[in-house]
Chain A
Amino acid sequence: MRRHLPPADLARDARFVRTSIMESITDPRNRAIADRRLGPARLAPDRPAAADRARNLMHGIFMGELQALEGAGRTTFDFDDDEAPFALKLDMARQCWDEARHVEISVRLAEWMGTGIGEFAEATFLYEAACADDPVLRLCGVNRALEGLAIDVFNTMRAFGETAGDPVLAFCEDWMLADEVTHVKMGSDWLRRLTADDPERRERALEFQRTVDKLFSLGGFRGESDENPVRLARRLRELAGFTDEEMDEIAALADESRAEADARAGAASA
C-alpha cells in the first residue's frame, strides 16, 4: 500500500455520489432559496422544511465522520515514526475507533430521521484536509478546524433534538460531542508539543487551519447570527483549547465566507 492516498481514490460502494464543495456553494438554487426570504436560516423545528434540512445535515455528518475515520487512519500509516511520534499515532488510532462509532451512530440516526446512505451527495473536502504532508498541518486542518466544526454542528443538532422533542437525536449528539471535544483537544495539544521549538512550522499549521476554517464556514453555514444554520459553540470550543481570539477569528472568517458566497451566487444567477 502506498503512502498518501489521494481523495479521488477513497473507496466507496455503489450508493455514494460525489460532488465538489464549490458546486454546492455556487449552486444557483441557493440564491433562489435565499430570495424566498423565509426568515432566519437557523435550524429550528418550526422553520419551513426543517425536517428535510435536518436530514440533509445528518447525512453530511455521516459523510464527515466517514472521512474523519479515513483521515485518522491514514495518519497512522502515512508517516514514519520519526515524522509522527508513536504517541500521536496512538491518538489517531483512538480517533479511528471513535469515528467508526460515530459512523455507526450517524447511520442509525439517519435511518431514524428518514434518510439513508447516498440520498445526498458527498464532497471530499474533509478528507482533503487530511492529505497534508506534515502531520501538524493535518492535526490543525482536521482536528482543530474540522472537528471544531463538528463541535458546532453537534451542539446545534443536540439543541435541535431537544427543541423538536427528539430525545434519541439529542442523546446521540451529546455523546458524539464529548468525543469531538477530545479530538479537538488532541489537535491543540499536539500543535503545542510538535511546534514548541519551531514557530515557523506552527505558523504554517495555523495558516492551514485558517484556510480550512474558512472553507468549513461553507458560505455562511456556520457563524454567530440567526442567518447561520450552525452556531459557533464558544463554551465547548474553550474546553477543547481554543482561545477567545481564535474564536473571534473563526467568526470573522465565517462572515467573510458568507459574503463571498453571496457574491458568487449573485454572479451565477445574473
Chain B
Amino acid sequence: MADPRAPRPAFAPWDRRELPGLFDVETSARRVGAYAWVEMRLFEALGGWVATVPELDVKLVLGRHCYHHAWHAELWHKRLPELREMDPARLVVPGDDAVAELLAAVAEPEAPERTIEKLVGVYRVVLPRKIAAYTYHLAATSSITDAPTQRSLRFILTDELDDWREGEMLLQSLIETPEEVERASRLQAELEALVTRAGGIAGPGSIGGAGTGEVGGDAVPSPPG
C-alpha cells in the first residue's frame, strides 16, 4: 500500500472537471426559476388532464408523469435559495412572455376526444425543448462551482428522456389516420412557432447560440496553466 502520508493532488488523475463555466450565479438562478415555472405548469396540466382522457393507459401515464414534473419543480425550488435567491417567487416566472403563451396553449385542450392534442403539446414540443435546455445547462455550467445544479439536471434528464419516449409511443399508438397525423402536426407547428418566438423553453438563450445575450463567454475565465 502507498504511504498514506505522501501528498496527493486534490483531483484524482481521472477527474477532468474544470472550473470555468458559462453561467454566473445570477444567470444560473434565473434559468432555474424559469425551469421551476415550466415544471409547475406542466404538472398542473397533466394532473388536470387525468380526469379528461378516456384512454386508461394514458390516464395512468399522465398520473405518473405529473409527479415527475412536480418533483422537478421541487428540486428547482430548493435550489433557488442556494443560488442566493431568498425569495424564490421572484424568479419562478416564465423565461419569456411567449413561454407563458405556450404553456397556456398546451394546457388548453380539455375534451375527451382531444387526447392527441394534449400529448402533442407535452411530448412533441415541451419535453424536447426542456431536454434541450437542460442538456445545454448541464454542458455549459461549471462542473465544480455549479455541481448541485448539474446533479439535479442529471436526475431530471433521466426522467425527461424516459417520459418523452413513453409519451411519444403513446402518440404513435393513438395516431392511426391521415387526419390524425394532420391534427398532430398542425398543432405541433403552432406550438413550435410560439416556443421559437420565446427563444426556447427557458426564454432567449435556452440552448445558447449567437445573438441571445445569454452566452457572453466564460463567466469564470480559465486559470493560467
Contacts and interface: CB of A to CB of B under 8 A. Distances in A.
Q: Interface centre among A74, A77, A86, A94, by most B CB within 10 Å?
A: A77
Contacts of B54: 11-13
Given A13-B56, A86-B77, A73 B47 contact: yes
A89 B44 contact: yes
Contacts of A101: 64
A76 B48 contact: yes
Nearest to A5: B51
Contact count band on B: 35 or more
Interface string A58-72: 000000001001111
Contacts of B61: 100
A1 B67 contact: no
Interface stretch (B5-13, B107-115, B134-142, B189-197): B107-115
A72 B47 contact: yes
A77 B47 contact: yes
Interface in B24-64: 40, 43-56, 59-64
A196 interface: no
Q: Interface centre among B44, B49, B77, by most A CB within 10 Å?
A: B44
A78 interface: yes
A62 to B, nearest CB: 10
A44 interface: no
B78 to A, nearest CB: 11
B194 to A, nearest CB: 17
A73 B50 contact: yes
Given A2-B110, A93-B66, A99-B63, A76 B43 contact: yes
B70 interface: yes
A178 interface: no
A75 B53 contact: no
A112 interface: no
A104 interface: yes
Contact of B51 (A74, A89, A93, A94): A74
A125 to B, nearest CB: 15
Contacts of A75: 47
Contacts of B53: 11
A73 B46 contact: yes
A14 B15 CA distance: 58
Contacts of A12: 54
Contact of B64 (A5, A11, A100, A117): A100
Nearest to A91: B70
A1 B108 contact: yes
Contacts of A1: 45, 48-49, 52, 107-110
Nearest to A93: B70
B66 A70 contact: no
A89 B67 CA distance: 10
Contacts of A103: 56, 59-60, 63
Nearest to B61: A100
B49 A93 contact: no
A96 B50 contact: yes
A110 to B, nearest CB: 13
A90 B59 contact: no
A70 B60 CA distance: 10
B74 interface: yes
A92 interface: yes
A176 to B, nearest CB: 15
17 contacts: A1-B48, A1-B49, A1-B107, A1-B109, A2-B110, A9-B51, A11-B54, A13-B55, A69-B60, A73-B66, A93-B43, A93-B67, A93-B71, A96-B66, A103-B60, A104-B60, A117-B56
Interface of A: 1-2, 5, 9-13, 66, 69-78, 86, 89-90, 92-94, 96-97, 99-101, 103-104, 117, 127
Given A69-B63, A86-B73, 15 more contacts: A1-B48, A1-B52, A1-B108, A2-B110, A11-B112, A66-B59, A70-B50, A74-B48, A74-B51, A76-B43, A86-B77, A96-B66, A97-B63, A97-B68, A100-B63
